[in-house]
């Protein structure tokens, strides 16, 4: 097995060891970026979704404005505003953050986090609002406070309801992450652009990248299907 | 009104170009989506397989990668083709794939896959009794399709078409990456020249926001229009 791969690499002009390694580094970068933005976005989205269902008009509307702006504009523009704009914040070039912020990684992560947080907030809001009236009344009748009811009753069932929509958002984020290559990050797409430029072989370079993304998508779809099977076990028909 | 250091008119032209790209690719996407849905539902195994591979593969790959693949890859393919034509038959035939054509066809091609799934779901949502009734009246398969299935599936398809359209509008920003002079690219160039990123990117973002807001309003009206005669619970 190992030898055949070695042979295949030896007989190939484009996919040499160094190219494959570049794709591998790109894969690591893509997975890392997507994973980090999803985790941070999720952590931000849960409190935002709760605030979004608040009865206070001002709180509700300000969260709505955030999701409205970030869902209504292209991620590319958001990335440009953050990536090119960060250098123009007063005093940032003298501050201790400058060495971190100057690299493309942190601004990109920042843009991705805000974008996915906006979409996830709206997904969770929909799930929270759809909680059965009776469940909440029962919790109130047991004397639970609003916070306790949220923690014990609303959120656990809302997460289950949100899962199918959230799995779509995860795949959307994986695909959107290819935009990072526009601001010099070497992710899978970035590696493909590099290989294209080096060998002038667009077909091979981008098809290989597309195949990697396709595999990642299939893994995610399969994983979420298993997860849904576990979490939605109570919804399955009796005979099967 | 908005001068933007003299870049205002150029960016306005870029906005028009963005709209052109969006509407043309929507047209291609609807056409391809309809074809894909009909092929997916047909009994012909080959057509069915082609449509399934199309909708699955396209939806599994990022738009940007497909766009780069088609823009850079297709040109090489066309060059090889015209070389063969010239060597074998002496025909001097050459097409230059420009950014506009590549952008519109790629976005149309990608969203055709999404539209295909939307249309397929909508076709399946049409009650089977309706189709049987059409048959019982002696209509041909084409007549049933045209008179009964399509008018009823539109209602089920509108929300899905709307969502796809909203994503499509935002995807048009990617054509700037392959070099088309749309408003995103012009704003980026201007921001680089004048060193004022916020001044240029925020108006462009606002144009997108306005576009999506207007679309949402129109789609809501359309939904009401096509649901005429449906009794709501």
List, for residues A171-200, the tens digit of each pLDDT value.
Answer: 999 999 999 998 888 899 999 988 888 888
Output the pLDDT for position B1: 47
To the nearest 10 degrees (0 to 180), the angle between helices A105-129 and A155-176 is: 140
Q: Look up residue A140 and give its two tokens.
A: 């109130």
- Ordered by where they begin, the domains of chain A are 25-231 (1.10.3720.10)
Chain B, window 4-63: residues with a beta carbon less than 8 angstroms from a chain A beta carbon: 57, 60-63
If pLDDT is split at 50, 70 and 90, which confidence band does A54 have? confident
Paired tokens of A125: 């809001």
Integer Cα distance of B93 and B83 in angstroms: 9
Q: Are residues A202 and B205, on separate chains, in Cβ contact within 8 Å? A: no
Instruction: Give the separation between CA B111 and CA A104, rounded to whole angstroms.
Output: 30
- The CA-based angle B201-B203-B207, given to 5 degrees, is 115
H helix intervals, chain A:
2-10, 17-52, 57-72, 75-85, 98-102, 105-129, 133-141, 146-149, 155-176, 188-199, 202-231
Task: Give residue A63's pLDDT band: very low, low, confident or very high (50, 70, 90).
Answer: very high
What local confidence, expressed as pLDDT, does residue B25 receive? 94
Give the list of residues 6+ apart from residue B44 with CB closer than 8 angstroms, or none: none
B220: left (phi over 0), alpha (psi -120 to 50) or beta: alpha
Rounded mean pLDDT, A106-122: 93
* Average pLDDT over every residue of A123-143: 90
With CA atoms as reference, the chain A residue closest to B215 would be A72
Residue of chain A with shortest Cα separation from B68: A206
Mean pLDDT to the nearest integer, A226-234: 84
DSSP tag of B230 = P
Total domains, chain B: 1
Check residue A79 and give its pLDDT.
Answer: 92
In a domain, B199, yes or no: yes
What lies within 8 Å, CB to CB, of A152 at 6+ separation is A139, A144
Which of A10-14, A74-78, B75-79 is least confident? A10-14
Chain A residues touching chain B at CB-CB below 8 Å = 68-69, 72-78, 80-81, 84-85, 88, 174-179, 181-182, 188-189, 192-193, 196, 202-203, 206-207, 209-210, 213-214, 217-218
Prediction pTM value: 0.87
Nearest to A38 by CA among A125, A114, A128: A114
- B1 falls within a domain: no
Query: Residue B61, by phi and psi: left (phi above 0), alpha (psi -120 to 50) or beta?
Result: beta
Position B48 in a domain: yes
In-domain check, residue B170: yes
Q: Name the residue in chain A with its Cα closest to that of B67.
A: A206
Residues B153 and B74: beta-carbon distance below 8 Å: no
- State the CATH number of the domain containing residue B156: 1.10.3720.10
**Chains A, B: CB pairs < 8 Å:** 111
Enumerate residue ranges in chain B where pLDDT < 70.
1-6, 232-233
Model pLDDT, residue B4: 65
B233 domain-assigned: no
Tell me how far CA of residue B73 lies from CA of A191, A205, B12, B25, in angstroms: 16, 9, 31, 20
**Gap between the Cα atoms of A66 and B48, Å rounded:** 43
Please give the C-alpha separations between residue A225 and each of A111, A161, A230, B143, B224, in angstroms, as whole numbers: 28, 14, 9, 40, 34
Q: Given this model, what pLDDT does residue A234 score?
A: 78
Inter-CA distances, A210 with B33, B58, B64, Å? 21, 9, 10
Q: Is residue B3 part of a domain?
A: no
Q: Mean pLDDT, to the nearest integer, of A30-42? A: 94
* A175 chain-B contacts, CB cut-off 8 A: 61-63
Domain that holds residue B51: 8-226
Question: Could you tell me which chain B residue has the CA closest to the CA of A171?
Answer: B60
What pLDDT band is residue A67 in, cutting at 50, 70 and 90? Answer: very high
In this predicted structure, what is the pLDDT of residue A10?
65
Residue B42 placed within a domain: yes
Determine the average pLDDT of the residues in A126-154.
Answer: 89
Give yes or no for residue A11 having a pLDDT over 70.
no
């Amino acid at each position: 097995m190992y030898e055949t791969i070695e042979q295949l690499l030896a007989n190939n002009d484009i996919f040499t060891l160094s190219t494959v390694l570049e794709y591998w580094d790109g894969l690591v970068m893509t997975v890392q970026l997507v994973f980090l933005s999803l985790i941070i976005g999720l952590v931000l989205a849960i409190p935002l979704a709760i605030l979004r269902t608040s009865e206070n008009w001002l709180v509700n509307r300000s969260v709505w404005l955030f999701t409205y702006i970030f869902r209504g504009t292209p991620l590319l523009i958001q990335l440009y505003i953050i990536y090119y704009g960060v250098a123009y914040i007063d005093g940032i070039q003298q501050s201790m953050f400058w060495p971190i912020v100057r690299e493309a990684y942190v601004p990109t992560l920042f843009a991705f986090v805000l974008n996915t947080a906006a979409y996830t907030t709206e997904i969770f809001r929909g799930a929270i609002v759809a909680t059965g009236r009776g469940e909440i009344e029962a919790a109130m009748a047991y004397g639970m406070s609003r916070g306790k009811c949220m923690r014990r009753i609303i959120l656990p069932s809302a997460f289950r309801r949100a899962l199918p929509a959230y799995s779509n958002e995860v795949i959307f984020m994986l695909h959107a992450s290819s935009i990072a290559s526009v601001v010099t990050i070497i992710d899978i797409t970035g590696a493909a652009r590099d290989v294209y430029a080096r060998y002038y072989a667009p077909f091979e370079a981008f098809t290989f990248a597309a195949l990697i993304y396709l595999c990642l998508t299939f893994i995610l779809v399969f994983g979420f299907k298993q997860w849904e099977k576990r979490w939605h076990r109570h919804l399955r028909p009796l005979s099967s | 009104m908005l001068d933007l250091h003299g870049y205002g008119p150029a960016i306005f032209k870029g906005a028009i170009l963005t709209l052109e790209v969006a509407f043309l690719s929507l047209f291609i996407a609807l056409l391809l989506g309809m074809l894909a849905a009909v092929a997916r539902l047909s009994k012909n195994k080959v057509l069915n397989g082609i449509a399934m591979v199309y909708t699955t593969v396209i939806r599994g790959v990022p738009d940007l990668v497909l766009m780069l693949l088609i823009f850079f890859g297709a040109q090489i393919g066309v060059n090889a083709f015209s070389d063969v034509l010239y060597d074998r038959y002496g025909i001097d035939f050459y097409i230059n794939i420009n950014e506009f054509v590549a952008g519109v066809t790629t976005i149309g091609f990608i969203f055709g896959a999404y539209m295909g799934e939307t249309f397929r779901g909508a076709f399946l949502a049409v009650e089977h009794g309706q189709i049987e009734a059409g048959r019982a009246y002696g209509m041909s398969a084409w007549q049933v399709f045209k008179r009964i299935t399509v008018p009823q599936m539109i209602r089920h398809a509108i929300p899905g078409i709307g969502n796809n359209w909203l994503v499509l509008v935002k995807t048009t920003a990617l054509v700037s990456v392959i070099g088309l002079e749309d408003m995103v690219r012009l704003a980026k160039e201007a921001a680089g020249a004048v060193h004022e990123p916020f001044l240029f990117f925020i108006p462009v973002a606002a144009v997108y926001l306005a576009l999506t807001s207007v679309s949402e309003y129109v789609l809501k009206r359309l939904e009401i229009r096509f649901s005429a005669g449906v009794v709501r619970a």
